[in-house]
Structure 1
Amino acid sequence: MNPVKVCTLTALFSAFTFVQATRATAITAPPLETQVKQVTQWFTGLFDNSQQVVTNPSVPFITLSSCSVELTNADPRIGTKNIYLEQKSINRFRLYSFSQENSAVNLSIRAFDPNYSVTGLCNRPESEHTLDSSKVLATSCNLELLWEPADYIGNNSPNGCPTSSGGKVISSVTVSQNSIDSLDKIFGANGNLLFATPIEFRRVDSIPEPSLTLGILALGVWGTSKTILGKYKQKSPVK
């Protein structure tokens, strides 16, 4: 082989190896403590799926608000961040706890005592962002969130979490700085898939004020929302 060609190929290979090594170094995952802080920050705020509804009116309009909370009557767990989540029009109220576990961020999702009212918690002064730990159910649904350069990705396939109807729900979630994409696959006791609609939440700057546009949008998805809400009530997951 021509010596010039050999030198050229060697130089190109060395350059390629250097670029790959540099890239690998650049995308090294941050410490788990940093990951927990980052993903909870990205997860906190006000979101809705209005952009998704515009392109697909069969999907119900849903708002999601979340804020950092403190648990009363509980021993603090070092490195754990607790987030209260409130979702409407398909109502869902949960405590999301993010913590360090092995090489990933562990997400534990728990429901509340049915008689414990926490609606609108994130709209209250920050000093009132507290939850009574005795009102948080012990049963949890867990996911592992793996760090990627631009987001955190997790799922609990294939086992999922049990539902009140004897089936299970397998959840997938991608958390980015300004978006949360989630998919709950709900299976019946016989293993048949009952429901699986991905929801694409996007961050909004502030709590939207009632408007004609929002009213028209809500009316447009009301029928579908009511139908899906009925399914959720019949087959609501324990998580």
Structure 2
Amino acid sequence: MHKLKVYSLTLILSVLIFPSHAVAFAPSLSTQVKEVAQWFTGFFDNAQQVTNNPTVPLITMSNCSVQLADNNSVANTQNIYLEQKSNVFERIRFYSFSEGNSVVNLSVRSFVNSDILGGLCNQPEQQRIINISNIATTSCDLSLTWEPNRYIGTNAPNGCPTSTGGKVVSNVTFLNNGVNSLDQIFAANGNLIVNTPIEFRRIASIPEPSFILGILALGIWGNATALSSKVKHKSTQK
């Protein structure tokens, strides 16, 4: 009887001291906004997916943080410029991540004139500035829910209206090394016309100005050192 009590006590203590599953707690909303925006920033493509399934089109995606002119940015909001390219389309959008009610709000808007913005992510950060007048007022919104190691968002079943009278229902998962997205496009009559999931994976980070300047400085220093060596070599030959 005493042995049974000892065994029971040992079992209870082991459960209390060594729980079988660690409980994950969600970070603060402000931290979530910064984290998901950081995960979304960089150069991406779906080449790995295309290798496994050649019927999927190859798409490149460049995402970088941008500033609004005249300090029009809303507090605790992360603004990202997105540029996607493939052989059949080009998509440029303005993404805003902000704090919602226990979730991260994602607002996606188009540009009035996107032609002047192509290649924006190749510019230094201080030059990546967008006029708010060039951003459309209508938006397509999603709510992103935090889960360990990912953020999941959807606007099903209503989706967002298209210019042709149909709608787009979006499902997206943000990972620390990529984005899985599915945009289901429905025609005005309700027929599903696009239903291809895309698996983007990061291939490079967006260079920061200090990094770019460091490379330039290293290049200048290297050229100067080489030139100095040549001059010294010639002077010893005279």
Pairwise CA distance, 1:114? 3.9
Shift of 1:189: 1.6
2:40 is aligned, of 38, 43, 67, to 43
Secondary structure of 1:184's match? strand
> Given that residues 72 and 132 in structure 2 are in contact (C-alpha distance below 8 angstroms), is that contact kept between their aligned partners in structure 1?
no
How far apart, CA to CA, are the structure 2 residues paired with 1:151 and 1:114?
33
Worse-matched range after superposition: 10-19 or 112-121: 10-19
> Once superposed, what is the RMSD of the aligned Cα atoms?
2.1
One-letter amino acid of the counterpart of residue 56, structure 2: V
- Distance in 1 between residues matched to 2:10 and 2:134, nearest whole Å: 65
Once residues 47 and 6 of structure 2 are traced to their aligned partners in structure 1, the CA distance between those partners, rounded to angstroms, is 57
The structural deviation recorded for 1:16 is 3.5
Letter in 2 for 1:86: E
1:71 aligns with 2:45: no
Shift of 1:147: 0.8
SS of equivalent residue, structure 2 residue 117: coil
Partner SS for 1:138: coil
Residue 166 (structure 2) aligns with: 167
Bigger RCO of structures 1 and 2 (CA < 8 A, at least 6 apart): 1
With structure 2 as the length reference, what TM-score do the two structures score?
A: 0.79
Cα offset, 1:83, TM superposition? 0.2
Give the partner amino acid of 2:82.
L
Q: Structure 2: give runs of 5+ residues left out of the alignment.
A: 207-238
Q: 1:183 is matched with which residue?
A: 182
User: Any conservation in 1 of the 2:41–2:205 contact (CA below 8 Å)?
Assistant: no
Which residue identity lines up with residue 146 of structure 2 in the other structure? W
CA distance in 2, matches of 1:65, 1:115: 14
Relative to structure 1, the CA distance from residue 49 to residue 92 in structure 2 (aligned partners, 3 Å threshold; closer, same or farther) is same
Q: Rg larger in 1 or in 2?
A: 2
**CA deviation map 1:19-62 (0-9, x unaligned):** 559722xx110000011111111100000000000010000000
**2:132 counterpart letter in structure 1:** S
Give the aligned residue type for 1:174.
T
Residue 148 (structure 1) shift: 1.2
Q: Percent identity?
A: 52
Cα distance, 1:205 vs. partner? 2.8
Q: How many residues align?
A: 204
Find the aligned partners of 2:199 and 2:151 in 1 and give their Cα distance: 15
The 3-state SS of whatever aligns with 1:153 is strand
Partner of 2:135: 136
So what's the TM-score if we normalise by structure 1?
A: 0.79
